[in-house]
Amino acid sequence: MATDTMASSDRKKAVTSYDVAALAGVSQSAVSRCYKPGASVSKKMRAKVEQAAKELGYEPNALARSLITSRSNSVGVIISNLTNLYYPEVLAQLSRQFSEQGIRVLLFALESESEADRALSQIWQYKVDGVVCAAKLTKDQIAEFAGRDIPLLFYNRQAGSHAASAVCCDQAAGTEFMVEGLIRAGHRSFALLKGPRDSVVGAEREESARATLSKAGITDLIELDGDFSYEGARDAIRHMMDSKVATPDAVICANDVSAIGAIDTLRNEFDLEVPDQISVVGFDGVGPSSWASFGLTTIRQPVRRMTKAAVDMILERVETPELANEKRVFSGIFVRGSSARIIEG
Protein backbone atom coordinates (compact mmCIF):
# COMPACT_ATOMS: atom_id res chain seq x y z
CA MET A 1 0.00 0.00 0.00
CA ALA A 2 1.48 3.34 -1.02
CA THR A 3 1.55 6.20 1.45
CA ASP A 4 -0.51 8.41 -0.82
CA THR A 5 -3.59 6.34 -0.28
CA MET A 6 -3.32 6.96 3.44
CA ALA A 7 -3.76 10.72 3.22
CA SER A 8 -7.47 10.60 3.89
CA SER A 9 -9.09 11.65 7.14
CA ASP A 10 -9.46 8.08 8.40
CA ARG A 11 -5.74 7.57 8.15
CA LYS A 12 -5.30 6.43 11.72
CA LYS A 13 -7.90 3.74 11.57
CA ALA A 14 -6.52 2.20 8.43
CA VAL A 15 -2.81 2.01 9.22
CA THR A 16 -1.49 -1.46 9.98
CA SER A 17 1.93 -2.91 10.62
CA TYR A 18 1.97 -4.00 6.96
CA ASP A 19 1.67 -0.38 5.84
CA VAL A 20 4.56 0.58 8.07
CA ALA A 21 6.61 -2.34 6.78
CA ALA A 22 5.96 -1.31 3.18
CA LEU A 23 6.96 2.30 3.74
CA ALA A 24 10.04 1.37 5.78
CA GLY A 25 11.04 -1.30 3.29
CA VAL A 26 11.22 -4.02 5.91
CA SER A 27 9.21 -7.13 6.76
CA GLN A 28 6.02 -7.01 8.80
CA SER A 29 7.61 -9.21 11.45
CA ALA A 30 10.40 -6.67 11.86
CA VAL A 31 7.80 -3.97 12.54
CA SER A 32 6.13 -6.27 15.02
CA ARG A 33 9.42 -6.90 16.81
CA CYS A 34 9.99 -3.16 17.18
CA TYR A 35 6.86 -2.94 19.30
CA LYS A 36 7.43 -6.04 21.35
CA PRO A 37 9.04 -5.28 24.70
CA GLY A 38 12.42 -6.93 25.08
CA ALA A 39 12.66 -8.15 21.45
CA SER A 40 16.00 -7.64 19.76
CA VAL A 41 16.04 -5.05 16.96
CA SER A 42 19.00 -3.19 15.47
CA LYS A 43 19.18 0.56 15.98
CA LYS A 44 19.05 1.13 12.24
CA MET A 45 15.96 -1.04 11.83
CA ARG A 46 14.24 0.67 14.73
CA ALA A 47 14.98 4.12 13.30
CA LYS A 48 13.54 3.16 9.90
CA VAL A 49 10.40 1.67 11.39
CA GLU A 50 9.81 4.49 13.83
CA GLN A 51 10.21 7.06 11.04
CA ALA A 52 7.67 5.23 8.87
CA ALA A 53 5.28 4.72 11.82
CA LYS A 54 5.46 8.43 12.60
CA GLU A 55 4.77 9.42 9.01
CA LEU A 56 1.75 7.16 8.84
CA GLY A 57 0.48 7.88 12.33
CA TYR A 58 0.72 4.18 13.17
CA GLU A 59 0.53 2.78 16.63
CA PRO A 60 0.11 -0.79 17.71
CA ASN A 61 -2.99 -1.51 19.74
CA ALA A 62 -1.66 -2.91 22.97
CA LEU A 63 -5.03 -4.18 24.09
CA ALA A 64 -5.77 -6.10 20.93
CA ARG A 65 -2.25 -7.45 20.82
CA SER A 66 -2.44 -8.64 24.38
CA LEU A 67 -5.50 -10.73 23.57
CA ILE A 68 -3.56 -12.45 20.82
CA THR A 69 -0.36 -13.06 22.76
CA SER A 70 -2.29 -13.72 25.99
CA ARG A 71 0.05 -11.28 27.69
CA SER A 72 -1.11 -7.86 28.80
CA ASN A 73 2.40 -6.44 29.19
CA SER A 74 1.33 -5.05 32.49
CA VAL A 75 2.05 -5.93 36.08
CA GLY A 76 0.12 -5.15 39.22
CA VAL A 77 1.86 -3.44 42.10
CA ILE A 78 0.05 -3.68 45.43
CA ILE A 79 1.42 -1.35 48.03
CA SER A 80 0.26 -0.26 51.46
CA ASN A 81 1.38 2.69 53.56
CA LEU A 82 2.22 4.70 50.45
CA THR A 83 2.34 7.88 52.48
CA ASN A 84 4.82 6.43 54.92
CA LEU A 85 8.08 7.65 53.33
CA TYR A 86 9.61 4.25 52.56
CA TYR A 87 7.29 3.01 49.84
CA PRO A 88 7.29 6.02 47.50
CA GLU A 89 10.91 5.30 46.68
CA VAL A 90 10.15 1.62 46.11
CA LEU A 91 7.23 2.51 43.87
CA ALA A 92 9.17 5.11 41.89
CA GLN A 93 11.92 2.58 41.24
CA LEU A 94 9.54 -0.24 40.28
CA SER A 95 7.58 2.05 37.98
CA ARG A 96 10.68 3.31 36.22
CA GLN A 97 12.25 -0.09 35.79
CA PHE A 98 9.12 -1.79 34.49
CA SER A 99 8.47 1.14 32.18
CA GLU A 100 11.96 0.82 30.70
CA GLN A 101 11.02 -2.74 29.77
CA GLY A 102 7.82 -1.58 28.08
CA ILE A 103 5.72 -2.99 30.92
CA ARG A 104 2.90 -0.91 32.36
CA VAL A 105 2.31 -0.69 36.09
CA LEU A 106 -1.19 -1.00 37.49
CA LEU A 107 -1.10 0.52 40.93
CA PHE A 108 -3.18 -0.57 43.90
CA ALA A 109 -2.54 1.57 46.98
CA LEU A 110 -4.10 0.09 50.11
CA GLU A 111 -4.95 1.97 53.28
CA SER A 112 -3.82 -0.93 55.41
CA GLU A 113 -2.15 -4.24 54.70
CA SER A 114 -5.20 -6.38 55.14
CA GLU A 115 -7.55 -4.86 52.57
CA ALA A 116 -6.15 -6.61 49.52
CA ASP A 117 -9.45 -8.17 48.46
CA ARG A 118 -10.62 -5.39 46.19
CA ALA A 119 -7.23 -5.07 44.54
CA LEU A 120 -7.19 -8.79 43.81
CA SER A 121 -10.64 -8.83 42.27
CA GLN A 122 -9.52 -6.11 39.86
CA ILE A 123 -6.29 -7.97 39.20
CA TRP A 124 -8.14 -11.18 38.31
CA GLN A 125 -10.36 -9.24 35.90
CA TYR A 126 -7.47 -7.55 34.26
CA LYS A 127 -5.22 -10.54 33.66
CA VAL A 128 -1.92 -8.92 34.51
CA ASP A 129 1.27 -10.82 33.69
CA GLY A 130 2.55 -10.73 37.25
CA VAL A 131 2.19 -8.99 40.59
CA VAL A 132 4.62 -7.37 43.01
CA CYS A 133 2.97 -7.22 46.41
CA ALA A 134 4.07 -5.17 49.40
CA ALA A 135 1.04 -6.03 51.51
CA LYS A 136 -0.25 -8.99 53.44
CA LEU A 137 -2.13 -11.75 51.61
CA THR A 138 -3.89 -14.76 53.08
CA LYS A 139 -2.84 -18.31 52.22
CA ASP A 140 -5.91 -18.68 50.05
CA GLN A 141 -5.14 -15.49 48.17
CA ILE A 142 -1.58 -16.65 47.56
CA ALA A 143 -2.79 -20.05 46.37
CA GLU A 144 -5.12 -18.34 43.92
CA PHE A 145 -2.16 -16.76 42.13
CA ALA A 146 -0.64 -20.20 41.63
CA GLY A 147 -3.99 -21.55 40.41
CA ARG A 148 -4.15 -18.81 37.82
CA ASP A 149 -0.49 -19.13 36.79
CA ILE A 150 0.21 -15.51 37.66
CA PRO A 151 3.72 -15.02 39.06
CA LEU A 152 3.56 -13.39 42.48
CA LEU A 153 6.47 -11.74 44.24
CA PHE A 154 6.37 -10.37 47.75
CA TYR A 155 8.37 -7.25 48.32
CA ASN A 156 9.93 -6.99 51.74
CA ARG A 157 7.97 -9.79 53.29
CA GLN A 158 8.18 -13.52 52.96
CA ALA A 159 5.57 -15.79 51.55
CA GLY A 160 5.99 -18.27 54.39
CA SER A 161 5.95 -21.07 51.82
CA HIS A 162 7.11 -21.75 48.31
CA ALA A 163 3.90 -20.44 46.82
CA ALA A 164 5.42 -17.10 45.83
CA SER A 165 8.77 -15.49 45.19
CA ALA A 166 10.11 -12.88 47.56
CA VAL A 167 12.63 -10.07 47.70
CA CYS A 168 13.33 -8.80 51.14
CA CYS A 169 15.71 -7.07 53.43
CA ASP A 170 17.04 -9.17 56.27
CA GLN A 171 14.96 -7.56 59.01
CA ALA A 172 16.15 -9.97 61.67
CA ALA A 173 19.89 -9.62 61.01
CA GLY A 174 19.69 -5.82 60.78
CA THR A 175 17.77 -5.52 64.03
CA GLU A 176 20.06 -8.00 65.78
CA PHE A 177 23.11 -6.00 64.69
CA MET A 178 21.76 -2.77 66.16
CA VAL A 179 20.44 -4.31 69.36
CA GLU A 180 23.73 -6.09 70.03
CA GLY A 181 25.52 -2.78 69.49
CA LEU A 182 23.22 -1.09 72.00
CA ILE A 183 23.84 -3.81 74.60
CA ARG A 184 27.58 -3.64 74.00
CA ALA A 185 27.46 0.13 74.62
CA GLY A 186 25.94 -0.48 78.05
CA HIS A 187 22.21 -0.09 77.52
CA ARG A 188 20.29 -2.33 79.90
CA SER A 189 16.65 -1.21 79.88
CA PHE A 190 14.75 -1.10 76.61
CA ALA A 191 11.47 0.03 75.12
CA LEU A 192 10.12 -1.64 71.98
CA LEU A 193 8.04 0.71 69.82
CA LYS A 194 6.09 -1.71 67.62
CA GLY A 195 4.60 -1.45 64.13
CA PRO A 196 0.90 -1.80 63.28
CA ARG A 197 -0.64 -5.13 64.25
CA ASP A 198 -1.14 -6.38 60.72
CA SER A 199 2.41 -5.60 59.56
CA VAL A 200 4.61 -8.59 58.85
CA VAL A 201 7.70 -6.41 58.58
CA GLY A 202 7.05 -4.86 61.97
CA ALA A 203 6.53 -8.28 63.53
CA GLU A 204 9.82 -9.62 62.13
CA ARG A 205 11.77 -6.69 63.51
CA GLU A 206 10.06 -6.90 66.88
CA GLU A 207 10.69 -10.62 67.17
CA SER A 208 14.35 -10.23 66.35
CA ALA A 209 14.78 -7.44 68.91
CA ARG A 210 13.08 -9.56 71.53
CA ALA A 211 15.20 -12.61 70.77
CA THR A 212 18.46 -10.65 70.78
CA LEU A 213 17.65 -9.01 74.11
CA SER A 214 16.55 -12.31 75.57
CA LYS A 215 19.88 -13.90 74.62
CA ALA A 216 21.53 -11.20 76.73
CA GLY A 217 19.20 -11.98 79.62
CA ILE A 218 17.03 -8.89 79.10
CA THR A 219 13.38 -9.90 79.09
CA ASP A 220 11.65 -7.16 81.03
CA LEU A 221 10.79 -4.75 78.20
CA ILE A 222 8.59 -1.69 77.96
CA GLU A 223 6.18 -2.49 75.14
CA LEU A 224 4.75 0.42 73.17
CA ASP A 225 2.08 0.13 70.49
CA GLY A 226 2.85 2.13 67.37
CA ASP A 227 1.70 2.22 63.77
CA PHE A 228 4.83 3.25 61.81
CA SER A 229 3.71 6.88 62.02
CA TYR A 230 5.18 9.99 63.63
CA GLU A 231 1.98 10.71 65.50
CA GLY A 232 1.66 7.13 66.73
CA ALA A 233 5.20 7.30 68.09
CA ARG A 234 4.53 10.63 69.77
CA ASP A 235 1.48 9.22 71.54
CA ALA A 236 3.36 6.07 72.58
CA ILE A 237 6.26 8.06 74.06
CA ARG A 238 3.86 10.36 75.91
CA HIS A 239 2.12 7.31 77.32
CA MET A 240 5.43 5.79 78.42
CA MET A 241 6.70 8.98 80.07
CA ASP A 242 3.39 9.67 81.79
CA SER A 243 3.01 6.16 83.17
CA LYS A 244 5.83 6.54 85.72
CA VAL A 245 7.85 3.54 84.61
CA ALA A 246 11.57 4.29 84.66
CA THR A 247 12.79 5.92 81.44
CA PRO A 248 14.57 3.23 79.39
CA ASP A 249 18.16 3.50 78.15
CA ALA A 250 17.09 2.92 74.57
CA VAL A 251 14.01 2.84 72.34
CA ILE A 252 14.04 0.30 69.50
CA CYS A 253 11.57 1.52 66.88
CA ALA A 254 9.82 -0.52 64.21
CA ASN A 255 10.75 1.96 61.47
CA ASP A 256 12.46 5.29 60.85
CA VAL A 257 9.37 7.49 60.89
CA SER A 258 8.36 6.29 64.33
CA ALA A 259 11.97 6.69 65.52
CA ILE A 260 11.85 10.31 64.33
CA GLY A 261 8.57 10.83 66.19
CA ALA A 262 10.16 9.31 69.31
CA ILE A 263 13.23 11.56 69.10
CA ASP A 264 11.18 14.73 68.57
CA THR A 265 8.87 13.91 71.47
CA LEU A 266 11.63 12.91 73.92
CA ARG A 267 13.50 16.12 73.13
CA ASN A 268 10.72 18.65 72.85
CA GLU A 269 8.23 17.45 75.41
CA PHE A 270 10.45 15.72 77.98
CA ASP A 271 13.73 17.59 77.61
CA LEU A 272 15.76 14.44 77.17
CA GLU A 273 19.04 14.52 75.24
CA VAL A 274 19.30 11.98 72.43
CA PRO A 275 21.58 9.99 72.66
CA ASP A 276 23.19 11.26 75.89
CA GLN A 277 20.23 10.33 78.05
CA ILE A 278 18.42 7.93 75.77
CA SER A 279 19.28 6.16 72.50
CA VAL A 280 16.82 5.72 69.65
CA VAL A 281 17.20 3.46 66.60
CA GLY A 282 15.01 3.01 63.52
CA PHE A 283 14.91 0.85 60.40
CA ASP A 284 14.63 1.59 56.65
CA GLY A 285 16.97 4.48 55.88
CA VAL A 286 14.27 6.81 54.50
CA GLY A 287 15.30 10.28 53.32
CA PRO A 288 14.46 12.23 56.50
CA SER A 289 16.48 9.80 58.65
CA SER A 290 19.62 11.56 57.46
CA TRP A 291 18.32 15.09 58.03
CA ALA A 292 20.54 17.03 60.43
CA SER A 293 17.79 17.31 63.05
CA PHE A 294 17.70 13.55 63.50
CA GLY A 295 20.90 11.86 62.35
CA LEU A 296 19.14 8.58 62.81
CA THR A 297 20.99 5.36 63.59
CA THR A 298 19.27 2.86 61.35
CA ILE A 299 19.51 0.04 58.81
CA ARG A 300 19.18 1.30 55.26
CA GLN A 301 17.44 -1.02 52.82
CA PRO A 302 19.18 -1.25 49.42
CA VAL A 303 16.03 -0.19 47.55
CA ARG A 304 17.55 0.16 44.12
CA ARG A 305 19.05 -3.32 44.19
CA MET A 306 15.96 -4.84 45.76
CA THR A 307 13.56 -3.36 43.20
CA LYS A 308 15.87 -4.36 40.35
CA ALA A 309 15.77 -7.94 41.64
CA ALA A 310 11.97 -7.81 41.96
CA VAL A 311 11.54 -6.64 38.36
CA ASP A 312 14.00 -9.22 37.03
CA MET A 313 12.43 -12.08 38.97
CA ILE A 314 8.89 -11.26 37.83
CA LEU A 315 9.86 -10.85 34.18
CA GLU A 316 11.82 -14.11 34.21
CA ARG A 317 8.72 -15.92 35.42
CA VAL A 318 6.46 -14.24 32.88
CA GLU A 319 8.86 -15.40 30.18
CA THR A 320 9.45 -18.86 31.67
CA PRO A 321 6.41 -19.85 33.75
CA GLU A 322 7.89 -23.17 34.83
CA LEU A 323 10.65 -21.48 36.87
CA ALA A 324 10.34 -22.26 40.56
CA ASN A 325 9.68 -19.49 43.04
CA GLU A 326 12.78 -18.05 44.62
CA LYS A 327 13.63 -15.81 47.51
CA ARG A 328 16.35 -13.20 47.57
CA VAL A 329 17.34 -11.72 50.89
CA PHE A 330 19.34 -8.50 50.89
CA SER A 331 21.51 -7.29 53.73
CA GLY A 332 20.64 -3.86 55.06
CA ILE A 333 23.38 -1.28 55.45
CA PHE A 334 24.09 -0.06 58.96
CA VAL A 335 24.02 3.74 59.18
CA ARG A 336 25.82 5.12 62.20
CA GLY A 337 23.88 8.24 63.10
CA SER A 338 24.00 10.48 66.13
CA SER A 339 20.77 9.21 67.73
CA ALA A 340 22.17 6.18 69.52
CA ARG A 341 25.27 5.05 71.35
CA ILE A 342 26.28 1.87 69.61
CA ILE A 343 29.46 -0.19 69.77
CA GLU A 344 29.87 -2.40 66.72
CA GLY A 345 31.07 -5.95 67.33
Handedness of CA 325, 123, 308, 336 (dihedral sign): negative
Q: How far is CA 239 from CA 197, 221, 234, 247, 283, in A?
A: 18, 15, 9, 12, 22
Q: Which CB atom, from 60 or from 225, has the smaller least distance to a second copy?
A: 60
Q: How far is the CB of 232 from a second copy (least distance, A)?
A: 12
Applying CB under 8 A, does 101 fall inside the site for a second copy?
Answer: no
Applying CB under 8 A, does 82 fall inside the site for a second copy?
Answer: yes
Burial class of residue 208, CB neighbours in 10 A (0-12, 13-18, 19+) = buried
Q: How far is the CB of 58 from a second copy (least distance, A)?
A: 10
The helix/strand/coil state of 169 is strand
Applying CB under 8 A, does 338 fall inside the site for a second copy?
Answer: no
Applying CB under 8 A, does 55 fall inside the site for a second copy?
Answer: no
Applying CB under 8 A, does 9 fall inside the site for a second copy?
Answer: no
Q: Which CB atom, from 59 or from 319, has the smaller least distance to a second copy?
A: 59
Peptide bond into 196 cis (omega under 30): no
- What would the x/- binding string for a second copy be over residues 114 to 133, using CB under 8 A? ----xx-xx-xxxx------
Applying CB under 8 A, does 64 fall inside the site for a second copy?
Answer: yes
Q: Strands (DSSP E) along the chain, which ranges?
A: 74-80, 104-110, 130-134, 152-155, 165-169, 190-193, 222-224, 250-253, 279-281, 298-300, 327-330, 333-335
Applying CB under 8 A, does 77 fall inside the site for a second copy?
Answer: yes
Applying CB under 8 A, does 267 fall inside the site for a second copy?
Answer: yes
Applying CB under 8 A, does 225 fall inside the site for a second copy?
Answer: no
Return the closest-CA partner of residue 311 out of 171, 123, 105: 105
Q: How far is the CB of 207 from a second copy (least distance, A)?
A: 28
Judging by DSSP bridges, how do beta strands 298-300 and 333-335 pair with one another?
antiparallel
Applying CB under 8 A, does 288 fall inside the site for a second copy?
Answer: yes
Applying CB under 8 A, does 287 fall inside the site for a second copy?
Answer: yes
Query: d(Cα 46, Cα 61) in Å, to the nearest integer?
Result: 18
Applying CB under 8 A, does 299 fall inside the site for a second copy?
Answer: no
Q: How far is the CB of 274 from a second copy (least distance, A)?
A: 11
Return the closest-CA partner of residue 317 out of 165, 103, 108, 171: 165
Residues in contact with a second copy by CB under 8 A are 35, 59-64, 66-67, 72, 74, 77, 82-83, 85, 87-89, 91-92, 95-96, 99, 102, 104-109, 111, 118-119, 121-122, 124-127, 230, 260-261, 264-265, 267-269, 287-288, 291-294
